[in-house]
Chain A
Amino acid sequence: MSQAAQSNRIGQPVRRKEDLRLITGRGNFSDDVNWPHQAYAYFLRSPHAHARIRAIDARAALAIKGVLAVLTGRDLEADGLKPLPHVADSGNPHEPDLVAPPGFKEMIAPHHVLAIDKTRYVGEAVAIVVAETVNLAKDAAEALDVDYEVLPAVTATRAAAQPGAPRLWDSPDSNISIDAEVGDKAATEAAFARAKHVATFETQINRVTGVTMEPRAAVAQYDPATRRYTLHAGSGGAVRLKQDLAKILDVPANDVRVLMDDIGGNFGTRGMIYPEFGAVTWAARRAGRPVKWTCERSEAFLSDYQARDLAVTAELALDAEGNFLAMRGTNLSNVGSHPTNYGPLKKGVEIMTSLYRVPCAHFKARGVVSNTMITRPYRSSGRPEVMYVMERLIDIAARDFGFDRQELRRRNLLKSHELPYTNAFGMVYDSGDYHDAMEKAFTLGDWAGFPARRAEAKARGKLRGIGTANYVDTATGVPRERAEITVHDDGRVDVVIGIVSNGQGHETSFAQLINEWLDVPLEKVRLIVGDTDIVQVGGGTHSGRGLRLGSIVMWNASNKIIGKGKRIAARMMECDPSVVHFAQGRFSAQGTNQSRTLTEVAAAAQHLPDLPEDLRGPLAAFSDETIHIPSFPYGCHVVEVEIDPALGTVEIVKYAAVDDVGRAVNPMIVHGQVHGAIAQGVGQALWENIHYDPASGQLLSGSLMDYAMPRADHFPSFVAEFTEVPCTTHPLGIRPGGEGGTTPALGVMINAVVDALSDFGVKHIEMPATPERIWRAIRGRQ
């Protein structure tokens, strides 16, 4: 009989086994970690958006009793620390290259753990202070005398790209850090020339930040005897953090050990190394003490990586029947003070055409530096922006040229028989049934019944609107992943893998896979992910890669274990391995009543004499794969809103979502992911906004008192369903499920809001679609 319950197999909505620990305060987050004799760090941050640092006088700070060290940019230069090893372009062979035109000067913009001679945004760290307490460190920071020469600053995206804008870096001719083109320009121009209709759209997509529930925290120490550094800090993955930290410290990777346990949110915001992690680790060596730093919420708003902030000009060409002919435009990404990652720019522009049949397209993909915090990948990096642009263009085309919104989508949405389909930028969509997802969403959202609801609302003085958005989501990420699975002789199974959970429920969903393949109860499966002395390889958690790549290497390793187990069992049962089958946790010899459990076989591997060398020792196997091929989750959302014209307030009355994740390992977890992702996307559409004052460069949305987050009471119960068309490029049919909720949410919300305002002739509302903006739009049209 099987040891493991059928109810814990793939496809079952198993309750998350980690949740009781997490919600009863027994998690081990970075700030929960304390080491003997630790001191505390505090960062002095620039109050100016752009300034030259003439000098820093630390004498008064160092005179305070209990202050152990004050380190500045000059000290890091003297100690030979290297800049953060950002990789701006991943170079995936399945994606188009962002190639600069000939003669384009590369921007040299090293990102150090502390500013050296200039600060380029409000909040950039200029010194780290180490003291016996946080409060003393703050006292010392106040006593630091920094002589700034304030320089002109620019924060807004299009303004920063102007030739006369204040220049952040000396190297290039402007603030433009990348200037590429993708698609076929000549074919696109020709298609526009013969188009009957051209829809146009210009927008500035707002900047947001991740607001992880757990702020960043780090504790580091240095052992002079072994010359090893140890850092405990939650992030998107331990292995990358170790490698990056070693590069900053300029030491061999094995001289660095990174630890992490529970991590309260990532969203990409915490996916990459931060300056503070390098500074704290360095400071631990300089102070000769373990050093701890915990980011405060207001500090997080200044110094957490930010996201989106894309200025777009786009056009869609149509023929008389409404067939899409071509698309063109420019995406300008505000990368912040330092260009560190063109992922959002690239992963957006390569799917500008979404799931629609658009024969040709041409886009400029540009990046610009500005006196703002760095922007980087954030939940569904780059894709929500472009899906919003495409879905707005379709609604604009429908309105301007007299097409029905649904029919225009039906006409141009790719059909199953057209897949695999190579889009105008060379991306290959593998599989799916896009029309099925869309029609299901229309049904769930009761599009047909909307006119009656709109009339009813109008009778009450309210404005109802309905909107829809299809989406596709390109999942790529770090290609290499490794899993090592060990079956112990007491039945426990350890899985060493380079994928940490930031809240996604891996302890349950990964265990469900092991349960399915090795028939091991969930509670017996342990994931080992957060200690780089054990986990040697692994890309971390981002870009829908955790389950997608993790499942492949765990599956391979499980199959190897079964293969080894068959050979061991054959020896135990004195039969040929070819007649041994593994099912329901047992190795059985065909044609006999003999069988051995996985646990018995694991024990035999340790004790049985005369085993061949490759079968001796713990029953273990590993799989190490490098997988570049992208995955394309897709779906369609429908939302209905009701606007109170007196104040411009928006109520979401219905939100219907259909998402295709190929195969849902744990539908309850996927639903949770979808719900959270929708809230995060709607948050950007309606409330969230990183607002830098254009005149001073100061951050005006620097706390939860001014940065408006989505809340539970903003939402109705989501009506969320899946379609499960197996992904043909994944051996198990799995597509990622963590980002799909966010990807269409921007476009669907704005489409619904604009639809609600259609009686007033309002053509567009920029994000966030605040009541004030809606009120102004109505008033402007009354």
Chain B
Amino acid sequence: MYDFDYHKPAHRADADTLLGRDNYKPLAGGMSLLPALKLRLNRHDGLVDLGALSDLQGIRRDGDAMVIGAMTTHATVAASDLLQQALSALCVLAEGIGDPLVRNRGTLGGSIANADPGADYPAAVLGLGATVITNRREIAGDAFFTGLFETALHSGEMITAVRFPLPQKAGYAKYRQPASRFAITGVFVAQTVAGVRVAVTGAGPSVFRFAAAEAALTRRFDAAALEGLTLAPEGLNSDIHAGADYRAHCVVEMTRRAVIAAG
């Protein structure tokens, strides 16, 4: 890796200041960033490790929503009693990320800021209509993911928490790529007061909503309602693990399984 300055501020204000510097990057677990640095695919002048900012960690209920600190690890989410009771689909999702080492280091904020097309959390953020809270503003989940590894975050902006509105029902189903165990296709389905939301990760360059499935499930929230539904493969990812048409098929199948998982 290339040389960089390393900072681990103890206070939010210091982190904000450091992140204002040119070509500084937050380190939020580093499960994608560190391998990229080791392979010399990324080059930064400085890393700001957010691991010491305790107010970025933790899970709490806030009215009809769960607020999860950006630096909360996947393992913490997976094991949270609070979430098990209120939003168990998120526990299932977190438990399926990577391996135990990744789950012990990787964080919610790091995952969604990186916006890997095969990452799991973007499906939950979009599927639940969550709100991404940063050090500067609040960003609607629908507006957060803007493309392949692209988000609405500005330079120097740092995610502090994500607010997940509690759904009536929710389920996540993931079809894992056999080597990386990222999602070839992951589908998060939620029945909410505002309607049914179906968010798909892994299949496209960025997480997206599956409108036809949402319409079908709004009429009847049942896997049988998806019978005959298809998704056009145009614009979907195609690689050595799955062609676009297979992915399109998997999206429908994993939607069905997510509905069943939602109960």
Contact = CB atoms under 8 A, between A and B. Distances in A.
Interface of A: 135, 138, 142, 298, 646-647, 687, 689, 691, 700-701, 704-709, 770, 772, 775-776
Contact of B180 (A135, A706, A772, A776): A706
Given A705-B179, A772-B246, A298 B1 contact: no
A701 B178 CA distance: 12
A220 B124 CA distance: 52
B178 A775 contact: no
Contact of A706 (B241, B243, B246): B241
Nearest to B254: A647
A429 B240 CA distance: 42
A708 B179 contact: yes
B240 A776 contact: no
Contacts of A708: 177-179
B82 to A, nearest CB: 29
Contacts, number: 38
Contacts of B242: 772
B243 A705 contact: no
Interface in B173-219: 175, 177-180, 182
A61 to B, nearest CB: 15
Top 9 nearest A-B pairs (CB, nearest first) are A708-B178, A708-B179, A705-B180, A772-B246, A646-B253, A691-B240, A700-B240, A706-B179, A687-B178
Interface in B222-262: 239-243, 246, 249-250, 253
Nearest to B243: A772
Given A298-B39, A646-B253, A701 B240 contact: yes
Given A647-B175, A700-B240, A707-B179, A135 B1 contact: yes
B40 interface: yes
A647 B253 contact: yes
Contacts of B250: 647
Interface in B58-103: none
Contacts of A770: 178, 241
A700 B180 CA distance: 14
Contacts of A704: 179-180
B70 to A, nearest CB: 25
Contacts of A647: 175, 250, 253
Nearest to A693: B240
Contacts of B243: 772
A701 B246 CA distance: 19
B246 A776 contact: yes
B253 A709 contact: no
Nearest to A689: B240
Query: Which among B182, B240, B242, B243 has the highest number of chain A CB atoms within 10 Å?
Result: B240
Nearest to A691: B240
A444 to B, nearest CB: 28
Nearest to A687: B178
Nearest to A714: B178
A689 B178 CA distance: 12
B179 A709 contact: yes
A707 B40 CA distance: 21
A298 B38 CA distance: 11
A705 B39 CA distance: 13
B180 to A, nearest CB: 4
19 contacts: A138-B40, A142-B40, A298-B39, A647-B175, A647-B250, A687-B178, A687-B179, A700-B239, A704-B179, A704-B180, A705-B182, A706-B180, A706-B240, A707-B179, A770-B178, A770-B241, A772-B241, A772-B243, A775-B249
B69 to A, nearest CB: 28
A240 B180 CA distance: 37
Nearest to A706: B179
Nearest to A700: B240
Query: Which among A142, A646, A705, A772 has the highest number of chain B CB atoms within 10 Å?
Result: A772
A647 B242 CA distance: 11
Contacts of B179: 687, 704-709
B36 to A, nearest CB: 12
A298 B177 CA distance: 19
Given A707-B179, A709-B179, 12 more contacts: A647-B250, A647-B253, A687-B179, A691-B240, A701-B240, A704-B179, A705-B180, A706-B179, A708-B179, A770-B178, A770-B241, A772-B242
